[in-house]
Structure formats: C-alpha cells, structure tokens
Amino acid sequence: MIFIGVGTPAHEDGSADLQYVLNVANTIGEHMQGFKVVVNKSTVPVGTADKVSQTIKAALDKRNVDFEYSVASNPEFLKEGAAISDFTRPDRIIVGTESTRVEEMMQELYAPYNRQRDKLIFMDVRSAELTKYAANSMLATKISFINEIANIAECVGADIEQVRIGMGSDPRIGYSFIYPGCGFGGSCFPKDLRAMEATAINAGYQPKLLSAVTNVNDQQKDRLFKKIFGLF
C-alpha cells in the first residue's frame, strides 16, 4: 500500500498540485513489481483518482508489463493543533474505493483507531474526493453566516452573543464555528472553497452560495479595518 499526495503544494484553485501527484503516480508505475494499492491522501480535484489510475497504466504499458493495482481516496480531516488526536481518535474515516479487497485492507490498517465504534465510511472514489471539500465548505459557510448575522445585529441593536447562544442551543446547529469575528483565514478554508467553486463551474453549475460565503468573508475583513480606522 502506497500513500501519496500528503503535503503537496496548492494551486490558486485550492487543489493540491495535480501534476505533482501524477508525477508520483508515474514513478509508481515505472517501478512497481506486483499488486499495489495507491491511496491518495491529498485534498485533490474530483476525478484525480481516475487520472492517477490512467497514469500508472500508461507507465506499465510503456514497460510492457501488466500488474494489478487499485487507486483509492482517503482524505484527512485534521484540525490545526489537534492533528495527532484527530488521527488516533477520528470522528470518521472516509475511504473511496470500489474494491472489496481494498476495503478489507483499510479495515485492517485502521483497526487500532476504530475500536470503540466503526468509524470507517466506504463510498465511491469521487464521493470521497468531494467529501473533504464539502465538509470544509460547510464549516466556512457557518462562519460567514454568523458574521452576517452579527452585522445585522449591530444594525438593529441586538446582542450577537445572546443570539449565538440561542442559535447554538439547537442541536441541529450547535456552537461550533458560530463565533463572529473577522472571518476565516488560514490555508484550508479559502483554497477548498475556491476548489469547490472551480469544480462546480467546470461541471457547468454556478455555485451561488459558495461565492457568497467567500464574498461575506472578504467584506468582513474590510469591515474590521474600517472599525479600527474609525476608532483611531
């Protein structure tokens, strides 16, 4: 089993450097001597597993050999400052594969971290690739939403902290990611939102909500600056 794509550089659309991943896939095809499971850990554009599979096959054909292989997706869900804890005690383990053999191998591999309850969720590869983008986009949406509500609260004279407590008490909403502030930053949320937008647009769909999440976030940063500028 070979894991690829961890820590790869990112393009402007937020995806991992696809060419980097494909170069690794080509190297695998050039050197593999028997059955291999190639597991992509990166946050990559939907359809990357197909391209990895095609790249490996092309390298094998060039060598005039025919070894069995399977390409799976196993995106990581690690929070900043809690990577080890999130890996050893994960909320869920997403695996994209159509192979029963790969499922059995992944179950054995993750067995030490899957003892309290079954956290493995198997699905098709493209769904696994999209799940990581969808999860981060949802969290980013909650942040932009509460900032929008905070701006409204300020205009109507409401206390956003009280509103937040009232909202968060609903278990369908929860308290996570509904703290108003200057918006989300870091690398994951902005790039994954851009990647989700690019994926949708390339598929012929205009994602209005995702665009709004990004716009609200950009405006929130400017709003904070204006407040500071006005104060001083």
Q: Quote the pTM value.
A: 0.87
Q: Rounded to whole angstroms, how far apart are CA atoms 59 and 92?
A: 34
93-105 burial string, b = 16+ CB within 10 Å, else e? bbbbbeeeebeeb
**pLDDT of residue 12 exceeding 70:** no
- What is the residue-averaged pLDDT of the chain? 91
Q: Strands, DSSP E only, in 52-151?
A: 69-73, 93-96, 120-123
Domain 131-231 class in CATH: mainly alpha
Q: For residue range 78-92, what is the model confidence (pLDDT) as tens digits?
A: 888 888 998 889 999
Selecting among 188, 193, 196, 216, the annotated active-site residue is 188
- The question of whether 188 is a catalytic residue gets the answer yes
Residue 113 is given by DSSP the state: G
Backbone Cα Rg of the chain:
21
User: 80: helix, coil or strand?
Assistant: coil
Q: For residue range 112-137, what is the model confidence (pLDDT) as tens digits?
A: 998 888 899 999 999 999 999 999 99
Contacts of 128 (CB under 8 A, 6+ apart): 72, 73, 74, 75, 94, 95, 96
Pairing of strands 2-4, 120-123: unpaired
Where in the sequence of the chain do the CATH 3.40.50.720 domains occur? 2-123
Closest by alpha carbon to 70, among 23, 110, 108, 104? 104
pLDDT of residue 71: 97
Looking at domain 2-123, its CATH architecture is: 3-Layer(aba) Sandwich (3.40)
Whether residue 71 contacts residue 126, with contact meaning beta carbons closer than 8 Å, is answered with no
Where in the sequence of the chain do the CATH 1.10.1040.10 domains occur? 131-231
Alpha-carbon dihedral 14, 20, 22, 27, rounded to 10 degrees: -160
pLDDT of residue 216: 95
pLDDT of residue 4: 86
Higher confidence at residue 185 or residue 32?
Answer: 32
